[in-house]
Amino acid sequence: MFVSFLKNVDLIAGETIAVDGTKSRAHNSKKANFNQKKIDKHKTYIDTNPKNV
């Protein structure tokens, strides 16, 4: 299904596909989770403290 999506949006030709079997685990802790409020707060911090970034 993912390969079909990539072919439909012309990201791959789909002539040769290789899968390596890598497994990844999702983690959605409070530190790894971003919402608009957190992004805005961080952007404000960066804009006001450019030397700390």
pLDDT at 37: 94
pLDDT at 12: 87
The pTM score is 0.40
pLDDT at 29: 85
Cα–Cα distances (Å) from 45 to 22, 30, 37, in that order, read 37, 18, 12
CA distance 44 to 5: 37
How many helices and strands, by DSSP H and E, does the chain display? 2, 0
Give pLDDT tens digits for 7-50: 999 998 878 877 788 887 877 788 888 899 999 999 999 999 87
Query: What do you get for the CA distance between the two ends of the chain, in Å?
Result: 40
